[in-house]
Amino acid sequence: MSLLESVRGPRDLRELSATQLEQLAGEIRSFLIRNVSRTGGHLGPNLGVVELTIALHRVFDSPHDPMVFDTGHQSYVHKILTGRQEGFPGLRQEGGLSGYPSRQESEHDWVENSHATTSLSWAQGLAKAFQLRGEDRTVVAVIGDGALTGGMAWEAMNNIAVDAGLKLVIVVNDNGRSYTPTVGGIATHLSSLRTDRRYEATLNLIKQRVRSAPVVGGPVYDLMHGFKTGVKDVLAPQGLFSDLGLKYIGPIDGHDIGLVERALESARNYGGPVIVHCMTLKGRGFRAAEQDEADRFHAVGAIDEETGEPLTANPKRTWTDAFRDEITEIARTHPSVVGITAAMLHPTGLDTFAREFPDRVFDVGIAEQHAVTSAAGLAAGGLHPVVALYATFLNRAFDQLLMDVALHHQGVTFVLDRAGITGPDGPSHHGMWDTSLLTMVPGVHLAAPRDERRLAEALRTAVGIADAPSVIRYSKEALPPELPAVAQHGSVDVLARATDSQVLIVAHGSFAGLGVEAGQRLGAQGIPATVVDPVWALPTSDDLIELCRTHRLVLTLEDGGVNGGLGARLAQDAARAGVWTPVRSLGVPAEFLDQGSRDQVLERLGLTAQAVARAAVELAVSCTEAGTGTTEPQDADQHRAGQHSADQHSADRRAAES
């Protein structure tokens, strides 16, 4: 039996010798490469934290001492060491292990943190709670993969530093990278600690001379932490942390289990907040990952476990590919267009733009709030920023979009990749919240293009909008075939048209093809339907509202939240225009959706052509039986009277205040 098979929980690690621990680290790396190469997942980050995680579980008593991983995708080794080895064949698959910490999986997972920079705030709150309750527990926060570029981490650090009795150990997993090499002043400072040759040479000389002393060499060296700190302060000042008042240990080799253990024990015994700075290599132990300069196999699909080559060819062009080419072409002819991203230059497709115009693309690190307000400033200065983010991460900068961009009428374009149901990364990464948030933003323009041609047209329109935010959202999936309009109704594209149409299907973005198929199924059931794409979902088109007026039922399809989403906004705007046709919205419910492939999740939600057509038939029949349609309801007068009363009340209050 291998050593790894004998480890069923953290306590099993404590009986192993130094030699056995090194063997175990090798077995864990082989296990990770073998399993993640089959399922896909975050391989590079976890290969880099093997020894570090072993040391953590030997020094601290999980789950009594909570461990919070930031970002959560570097927790695979933690899962292996806490009894979840058998679950790895189902990693990131429906019903299988999560790619992030999961409280449902294990008591060892305290926080399901898969958005970066949150760990220190969680850890501070947990440690404070234990302190107030008189519980002798130490909280550990493992922060890395560029997460220290996020402002929230430093807000937490500011509070941690003034609480001398807080039993909190902050482990900085410093691999110099997020996806790509970490950027910014903090990264530069940490890099200086990693690379100062005088520091390394001096400490190596001390290490050799002291350890060579007969009998006492080893023990003396172990007692010399204070002296080493002094050398470090002279040769590679670490005032970034010490000036905050935080105890600092490091930098140390994060792949030396014994060294990391001693540092962690010192930090645990200190009795207050301590930073342990560990230098690690992302992708360590897998040559293909170590040599991959793009992202060190940050996230992979199915790959060959020997060569790292993808096992499944993916010649299909993606939405990201289309954006990458179009924004670069726009940049060539629009010198005022600049790009901004938050540590996702390659994944969002700004990399080609950056290579051709390096002075016009800015990677701000994992700092979405700063990215958006900086974009407002760039726009105020006469440029047109294009902010490329994953849709799920727009949530983190909503206030900045609302108050810094929209309130100031700044022309900033937001391009949201991975919009809608994304699949294997689970509830935190579905891009399902953005439309519900954006419908609240005054003046916003939002497009959900249905194919590559519409994406290019929307992007060129967006960079010409100078007085309001514009948003373009699309899926991470392969591009669908072009879906031409069969007719135009003003600004609205008609995708399918039926004589004596009773049902209007408004299909947004990636659901345009779904809408056409559902319309065909309705027609086969004797219910003629027209299918349209509004092209620009916000602001709501008057042409679309007039189409609603001429149908008995409006059915909207959207790859986003139905609560406050695009369908809900259409219903509100239609009612304001005096159109009382029932509007029913099909989309993503306000739930945290478990992982699975995109198709699996959509099927669970009833967002397939068959399910949509069935729902439409039931709704159409119920509307016919109820006799609803374009006639104004009986309570319309009361509705208008109530609205008038509310408006008059607001006017009276404003008059009184003035």
Residues that are catalytic: 282, 368, 396
- Alpha-carbon distances, residue 419 vs 171, 336, 375, 560, 592 (angstroms): 33, 27, 21, 8, 15
Tokens matching residue 247: 């105890």
Tokens matching residue 319: 């939405």
- Alpha-carbon distances, residue 53 vs 261, 272, 277, 563 (angstroms): 10, 21, 14, 41
Phi, psi of 561 (to 5 degrees): -65, 135
CB 264 within 8 A of CB 276: yes
In angstroms, rounded to a whole number, what is the distance separating the alpha carbons of residues 41 and 92? Answer: 7
Q: Which residues contact 89 (CB under 8 A, 6 or more apart)?
A: 35, 38, 39, 96
CB 81 within 8 A of CB 92: no
The residue with tokens 């698959």 is 93
CB 447 within 8 A of CB 508: no
- Alpha-carbon distances, residue 314 vs 164, 297, 321, 405 (angstroms): 53, 17, 12, 38
Tokens matching residue 369: 């709030």
- Alpha-carbon distances, residue 336 vs 48, 62, 571 (angstroms): 40, 53, 37
In angstroms, rounded to a whole number, what is the distance separating the alpha carbons of residues 389 and 340? Answer: 9
Q: Which of 522, 514, 630, 517 is nearest to 580 (CA)?
A: 630
Question: How many Å is the maximal CA-CA distance in the chain?
Answer: 99
CB 193 within 8 A of CB 238: yes
